[in-house]
Every structure is written in structure tokens, then in C-alpha cells.
Amino acid sequence: MIVQFTTPVLARLARAWGLIDRPGARKIHASPVPRIGGVAIVLGALALCIPVLAMDDALGQALHGVRFQVIALLGAAFFMFLVGLLDDVRSIPARFKLLALVAASLVVCSTGARIESVTLESAFTIDLGWLSWPLTVFWIAAITVAMNFIDGLDGLAAGIATIVCGVIAIFAFSSGQLVMGVLMLSLVGSLTGFLFFNWNPAKIFMGDCGSMFLGFMIGAGSVVCQAKTATLVGIALPALALGVPLFDTLFTLFRRRILDRRSIFSAERGHIHHRLLDLGLHQRYAVVVMYAVTLAATGIGMLMFVTRATGTVAVIACVILLILLVFRVVGASRIRETIAAFHRNSVMARQAKEDREHFEDVQLQMQRAQSFEDWWQALCAMAARMQFDRLALVCRDNAASATMYSWRRTEDELLPENVVSVIMPLGDDGAVGASRIELAVRAAEPLETIGRRVTLFGRLIDEHNAGVKVQRAGQKGWSITRQVWARDLDPASRPEIRRASPSPKTRAS
């Protein structure tokens, strides 16, 4: 009742205050929608659980033993709600949100709610020791981020969160944790009321305030439940129920960082729900498919209550294979492409390191040149190391003549058709006149690699052109006014230096 009363009021206030999510290139909705529905979810959940926990009965007695943990959990979750609300009202950097998430997770860990050990039946126990702190923080942060990522279609995040909270509530009650069971059921009730307004076409979105609050409550709540039992089921069951959001987050981070070479915090349109829409499904049907996969994973995961050690592992493996199959069918995994991109990025990173080393070597050579010939040989050395095919320095002596120095990798006068040509002007104070440098390189490497090498060459010119002023010295050619260094080139890469006869082809434009 509280959620159904407050949600329409929030929607009106959000429109009046301009707190709406406008359509965009990566948005699904076609018209502005209010985006602070998470306020109603938080109010509804707290209004349900706090009075129940305050009762002086068996539940109230159970609360006394975990009062500190519950207060820390609710306080940290409310803090994440405020961070998300600030982001909805006034966008804040993703790194700040991540830092706040880590801080809130550490607060929960400090109360003793940590994944300290995992027991597979009674035969095998893994004691994590000090690793329990980073592992718990990572677990809570991963679920919070996953819930934020999956909030892309009307009713999707709210529906999946309802299923997961129901699963955690069942486990909490079955293990005698009444307080956590009540907290999760209060979220189920609040989310159920919110879905009436969030179902397609949505009248309001939960926003970051809602997704971050829900993700934190689910992540931290599952940790609290597991910490009491120390069983594999306690952490595996909510993980399997959250299989779709977690795998979507994993593939998204790999895709952004490796395949697209973008920041992991950048927005894009490649989540699994986007892939379902690209396959032609309507929003409602795409959401139903996601619900079905989540329910199937949860149903199979519930078998862990009745299986032994080997059976538990088999159940986990089956659910993982099911989820991976779904991602593979809809084309959201892109594993082969990611592996190929990883190899490509490794090769390009190695090439970039080598190019950088070549640049720094020639940079030192430039700093010690003592004549124009030394300066020119350094440029030729840079051209050779950057795999350029041709380098030419053209300078107009006067209106009727020009002088040109040229270097070629091979003796062939003609270059192939697939050539990248670059012209760089020289001189910033008129001392050089209309001088320019011309580069030519075959497009055998990726254009990004060629562009990086040309950029390094341009940096070399910028750093050693203003101070190394090339100027005419009568009819004797060129001289240099600043000391720079010369280093012998390999015989195969020695430059050819020549003066060209005045002709229209050698005149600078």
C-alpha cells in the first residue's frame, strides 16, 4: 500500500523537478520517464520491516543477537541509496560511486558479516582467513554493479530482484535466520508493489537509487546469511539466482575493456537485454525470457538443499552451463571475438612499446645534433624505425625554386597504391618559409598503428623544429643555429640527400 501510494506522488514530483530519464541513443524508451522510483522501494521496504523487527516477540528476541549487523546493513544500504539518488539528481563520476560502494561494503564486513569459510557438506571446508575481507567486498560490489547494469528494460531489474530476495528469504528461514528472512520479504513486498508502475510501458524507473540499494541489500544480505551457516549453498544459491546479471556484468566488462577498448565505466548498448531486442523481441517478451531463465536457474539451484557434496557441484555446473548457453544463443557472450581482440590488443601494445623506445632513442639523437646533416639523419633514422617508405623535406628557396632532401626505404621510385601520405608544415616564425615534410607509408599495418607512428614523428618535429631553426645561408644550402647530435645510421638506412632543380613539382605550395 505504501509503495502504491508514494510511487504516483514521486512520479509527479520528478516531472515537476525535472528528474526524468530522457530518450537517447542507448535508451529504449521513446518518451521522458521519471527516474527516482527507488525512493518508493526504500520507503516501502523500511516501513514494512522496521515495525516488525521492533515487536517484542520471538522475532524481536532474534533481533537482539544480530542488532548491530542489521543496523550496519540497513545504514550502509541507505547510504548507497543516497549515493544513487545523488547520481539521479546530479550525475556523479562512476569512480566516486565505486569508492562509496567499497566503503559501505567495508562497514558491513567490520560487523563480522564476511565470507570467512565455505563448507561443502562436512567433508571439505575452505578457510579463507584474511582473504575474507577482499572477497566479501568484491562479492557485494559485484552484485550491486550487476543489478545496476541489468536495469535496462521496464520491470527487468525489479522482477529479478524480487526472485532473488525470495530465494534468500527461503534460505534464511530454513537456516533459522528470522531477521534476514523478514528483511528479504519486506523487499519482495515493496518490489511487487513497484512492478505495477514499472512494468512496460513504465510510468517510473527505479533509477540508480533503487538499483544500488537493491544490489547492496541482496549482496550484503546473502553474506550475512552465509556467514551464519558457512555452507556453499548459502553463497551459491543467490549467486545462481543472480546468474544472468552477474554473467552480463562479466561479459560487459570484458567487452568494454578488451573488445571495444573503452573505459569499463562508459555507457553502451550491448547487454543481454539489448541483444534480445536486436533479435526482434518486444520489451515485454524480452523481460519474460529473462524471468524464465532466472526462475529456471533458481529452480535447479534449489536442488542443492537435498543433494550431497558432489550433487551440489553438479547443480552449480548445470546452472552455469544453462546461463552460458543462453548468452551464446542470443550472441551476448562474444567469447571468440574477445579472445581475438585480446591477442590483437597484445600485439598492438607490444608494437606501441617498441615505437616508444625508437622515439626516445631518436629523441636523444636529435638533442645532440650539431649540423643540419645530423638533424636530417636523425629524421631519417626515425622514418626507418617507424617503417615509413618515403621521407622528403621540401623548402622553397624563393618564389621560383625549391630545395628537397629525400629518403626512401627501397630503391623503387614508385609506391604502391595503398599508401598513406602525410604533409607536415615546418617553421613557426617565417625562418624556414614554406618548408614542409612529406611522409609516405604503405597501409600494411592497421591505420591506428600508422597514426600513432606519425604522431610520434610529429612530436619529434614539434620538439626540435622551433629550437632547431633551419635557415638559408646564401647559395651554400642549409645550416643549423642550435647544437644537436649525430649518430651513425645503419648502412641500410643511410639517407639520400640531394638538392632538386627548381621545378613546379618541388615548389612548396
Extents of the domains making up the chain: 2-16+34-118+127-333, 344-506
Q: Which long-range contacts (CB under 8 A, 24 or more apart) does 339-346 make?
A: 341/258, 341/259, 341/261, 342/258, 345/258, 345/261
Q: How confident is the model at residue 496 (pLDDT cuts 50, 70, 90)?
A: very low
Q: How confident is the model at residue 395 (pLDDT cuts 50, 70, 90)?
A: confident
What is the pLDDT averaged over residues 228-242?
Answer: 89
Give the model's pLDDT for residue 23.
Answer: 87
Question: How big is the chain by its Cα radius of gyration, in Å?
Answer: 33
Q: For residue 142, is pLDDT > 80?
A: yes
Q: How far apart (Å, rounded) are the C-alpha atoms in residues 208 and 147?
A: 10
In the chain, DSSP finds a helix count (H) and a strand count (E) of 16, 10
Summarised one tens digit per residue, pLDDT across range 143-197 is: 999 999 999 999 999 999 999 999 999 999 998 898 899 999 999 999 999 999 9
Angle, helices 372-385 vs 447-463, to 10°: value is: 160
Pick the more confident residue, 324 or 404.
324
Pick the more confident residue, 268 or 210.
210
Q: How far apart (Å, rounded) are the C-alpha atoms in residues 50 and 36?
A: 22
Q: How far apart (Å, rounded) are the C-alpha atoms in residues 274 and 277?
A: 5
Angle, helices 207-229 vs 232-241, to 10°: value is: 160
Q: For residue 481, is pLDDT > 70?
A: no
CA distances for 258 relative to 107, 250, 445, angstroms: 33, 12, 20
Summarised one tens digit per residue, pLDDT across range 83-109 is: 999 999 998 999 999 999 999 999 999
What is the pLDDT averaged over residues 478-502?
Answer: 36
Lookup: cell for 404: 628537397
This prediction has a pTM of 0.83
Instruction: Indicate the average pLDDT of the chain.
Output: 85
Q: For residue 139, is pLDDT > 90?
A: yes
What is the pLDDT averaged over residues 290-294?
Answer: 97
What is the pLDDT averaged over residues 247-261?
Answer: 93
Percentage of residues of the chain with pLDDT beyond 70: 86
Q: For residue 491, is pLDDT > 70?
A: no
Most confident region among 20-24, 47-51, 276-280 by mean pLDDT: 276-280
Summarised one tens digit per residue, pLDDT across range 460-476 is: 988 886 434 443 333 33
Q: How far apart (Å, rounded) are the C-alpha atoms in residues 30 and 283?
A: 12
Residue type, 315: V
What is the pLDDT averaged over residues 244-258?
Answer: 94
Pick the more confident residue, 431 or 421.
421
Give the model's pLDDT for residue 122.
Answer: 63
Structural fold of domain 344-506 = Beta-Lactamase (3.30.450)
Q: Which residues are within 8 A (CB) of 176 and not within 5 positions of it... i.e. 6 or more apart?
A: none
What is the pLDDT averaged over residues 407-426?
Answer: 80
Give the model's pLDDT for residue 412.
Answer: 66
Q: How confident is the model at residue 51 (pLDDT cuts 50, 70, 90)?
A: confident
Angle at 261 between CA 86 and CA 360, to 5 degrees: 115
Give the model's pLDDT for residue 306.
Answer: 81
Give the model's pLDDT for residue 311.
Answer: 83
The Cβ of residue 459 has, within 10 Å, a number of other Cβ atoms equal to: 12
